[in-house]
Amino acid sequence: MSKNVEKHLQLSVSLPSGSKKRSRKSRSSKSKESEHTQKPAEIETPQIPAQVVAPEYDVEEAQQVVFKPNEGPQTTFLSSSEREVLYGGAAGGGKSYAMLADPLHGLNDPNFSGLLVRHTTEELRELIQKSQELYPRAVPGIKWSERKSQWVSPKGGRLWMSYLDKDTDVTRYQGQAFNWIGFDELTQWPTPYAWDYMRSRLRSAHSRDLGLYMRATTNPGGAGHAWVKKMFIDPAPAGKAFWATDIESSKTITYPKGHSKEGQPLFKRRFIPASLFDNPYLAEEGDYEAMLLSLPEHQRKQLLEGNWDINEGAAFPEFDRNTHVIEHFEVPDSWVRFRACDYGYGSYTGVLWFTVAPDEQLIVYRELYVSKVIASDLADMILEAEARDGGMRYGVLDSSLWHNRGDTGPSLAEQMNQKGCRWRPSDRSRGSRIAGKNEIHRRLKVDEFTEKPMLVFMNNCVNTIAQIPSIPLDKKNPEDVDTKAEDHLYDALRYGIMTRPRSSIWDYNPAKQRTGFQASDATFGY
């Protein structure tokens, strides 16, 4: 274990040799003084002296361990080496104390420059008060400057504590450089703008040994739930490091064309989940757990279970990643396969591939999610993806793509059919949207006899797995989803499900399936 990691995992005050030790329980990040059981006094302005200096401890008092993380997620977080790490999930996991402890590894380096932010000044006061409980004991001689909102260690390391209420607040940090940047309660920021901008302030001009780190804590829910989920939760299983991806395209972020490292991934991210039950002190009391159990269902799943697939107003609250997401496997050649597509050039095109298991369970085994792709090129991409699939029983496409284009040529559907990527129109009859949504609900429900749902998704369908549980209800028509939301993969799912696929192949003979586009098949293509 490196020296830096050791410092992360236990912070204590230095003692002269031979000093007497008082026997008492070490203070913990998850003690009864947790942020969840004790609130700071209500004050209108930060009541912080101009300078806070470590007090004169007697020898016995000074020997006490100031901060010792609990084994498990908190220890993992404090020893993480990835560039960007998110810690948290459920409430009660000791997030705030972990965030305060993380920059302490660098404060004794004169080149260290850190920044810890909250969304508002009111929330910042609480964080500052907690730092006053920890820092003077962990770093003897450290001083607080109220005017600069800054901690300064005796060796020169500095940590600013500030707020970022609006996107424009980031301009306060133009021209500044930090080794370490922390965002406490990340989902309180409605957009990723502040996070992305502050990444540009992450650089080290004097010491490469310190490393460059961005750290965040949060619970599910809040204004920024969707983008945080896309950035940290959806790309990889919890606890596993992954190369950073673009939250719009889900593609790995790489060095640009012309760079000496062209095509190589830039840096890694990681999500480290924690829950109340990782906090033995708070969990043993039982009161906080009881409070969380009393919350409405969606809040209980977020704050007690740390469930990121639940959001207030979500159209499909029954979706559970542990139940509806399965490991990828090779689909047997004998199983029926088909596809469905919701096309959009200016926004996104969503294509889903389905197979039907012998027990009639519907499995989504592949996805394609692209933007600004013309219909003929999309056909090529689909056919390339299906090259090893064997026979495709049918494809269902948004029926609006059969609209006659007059003198300009064949419709978009006809263009794809002519390439051999064959389709039939989706059901867009009156009431089909509601019927499709209800059918998804039915298939997501876990059967009480088989103890499994009739619709699951392979784990390689990352965009679908992210979109389905996040899509909101239409506030004006709660029987339908909000069509202004990102719903392209949902529509493809609905089109596919409403074809009412069956596992039986007795009515299907690939040998009799015609190839190419037939003029007489202007509607179906086959």
| Whether 503 contacts 335, CB under 8 Å | yes
Which residues lie across from 455 on neighbouring strands? Answer: 362
Domain contains 183: yes
The structure tokens 């060095």 sit at: 255
351: part of which helix (H) or strand (E)?
A: strand 349-356
Q: In degrees, to the nearest 5, what angle opens at C-alpha 448 toward C-alphas 435 and 292?
A: 90
Residues 110 and 223 in one domain: yes
Q: State if pTM tops 0.75.
A: no
* Number of structural domains in the chain: 2
Count of helices and strands (H, E) across the chain: 16, 18
**Burial bucket for residue 381 (CB in 10 Å: 0-12, 13-18, 19+):** middle
Residues 111 and 221 in one domain: yes
Residues 288 and 345 in one domain: no
297: part of which helix (H) or strand (E)?
A: helix 297-303
Residues 272 and 363 in one domain: no
**Burial bucket for residue 234 (CB in 10 Å: 0-12, 13-18, 19+):** buried
| Whether 147 contacts 139, CB under 8 Å | no
The full DSSP string for 135-156 is: HHHHSTT-EEETTTTEEE-TTS
Domain contains 195: yes
Domain of residue 383, CATH code:
3.30.420.280
Domain contains 176: yes
Residues 105 and 249 in one domain: yes
Domain contains 240: yes
Residues 280 and 383 in one domain: no
Residues 292 and 337 in one domain: no
Domain limits for position 377: 321-521
Domain of residue 249, CATH code:
3.40.50.300
From first CA to last CA, the distance across the chain in angstroms is: 64
Domain contains 275: yes
Residues 231 and 325 in one domain: no
Three-state SS string across 217-286, please? Answer: EECCCCCCHHHHHHHHHCCCCCCCCEECECCCCCCECECCCCCCCCCCECCEEEEEEECHHHCHHHHHHC
Residues 281 and 325 in one domain: no
Residues 269 and 387 in one domain: no
Q: In degrees, to the nearest 5, what angle opens at C-alpha 144 toward C-alphas 80 and 13?
A: 60
Residues 149 and 188 in one domain: yes
Residues 149 and 190 in one domain: yes
Per-residue pLDDT of the chain (526 residues; tens, 9 = 90+): 444 444 444 444 333 333 333 333 333 443 433 443 343 333 333 343 344 444 443 333 433 445 566 677 888 888 899 999 999 865 555 788 889 999 988 888 899 999 999 998 888 888 899 899 889 988 889 999 999 999 999 999 999 999 888 888 888 888 889 999 999 999 888 888 999 999 999 987 566 677 899 999 988 877 788 888 889 988 888 889 999 999 877 889 999 999 999 999 999 999 998 865 555 555 456 565 566 555 555 665 655 555 676 666 678 888 888 899 999 999 998 899 999 999 988 778 999 999 999 999 999 999 999 888 999 999 999 999 999 887 888 999 998 888 765 556 788 898 899 899 999 999 888 888 999 999 999 999 998 888 999 999 999 998 898 888 878 788 788 888 887 777 899 999 999 999 877 665 444 444 444 443 333 333 444 3
